[in-house]
Amino acid sequence: MNFSENQSIYIQITEFVKEQILLNKWQKEEKIPSVRDLAAELQVNPNTVMRAYDFLQQQGVIYNRRGIGNHVSSDAGEKILTARKEKFLQSELPVLFKNILLLGIGFDELERLYKSFVNEKRKH
């Protein structure tokens, strides 16, 4: 994983974990890698992974089963999607709309580009 300097590493790790869940690489109720294992995999300090896991527990995305390890919450996917959708609609979509307006891009062109994008992603 390549870390960006623009964001705290623990936040980037939380996003990595969320992506694993959304991509169904880590299933509901499944045990996720231990703090030490994920730290070794990502080549970061275990305290950084611990901080990320604590943050994800506060969000209800993962939970700890004492003596067994951390697991994906049964509703983790829904929680992640709801939070990402809210962030997108409040922060990113207004910027996108502004650029569409400034560039004079019409809905017909947007629809064509979007359909092409979706078709391309479905092939992979």
Read off the pLDDT of residues 30-80 as tens digits, 9 standing for 90 and up: 999 999 999 999 999 999 999 999 999 999 999 999 999 999 999 999 999
Collapsing DSSP states into helix, strand and coil, what is residue 70?
strand
* Closest CA relative to residue 55, chosen from 114, 122, 10: 10
Q: Is the pLDDT of residue 124 over 80?
A: no
Range from 10-14, 34-38, 118-122 carrying the lowest mean pLDDT:
118-122
- Report d(CA 18, CA 62) in Å as an integer: 10
For residue 70, the model assigns a pLDDT of: 97
Residues contacting 38, CB < 8 A, separation 6+: 13, 32, 49
Indicate whether this model's pTM tops 0.75.
Answer: yes
pLDDT band at 94 (very low <50, low <70, confident <90, very high): very high
pLDDT at 121: 85
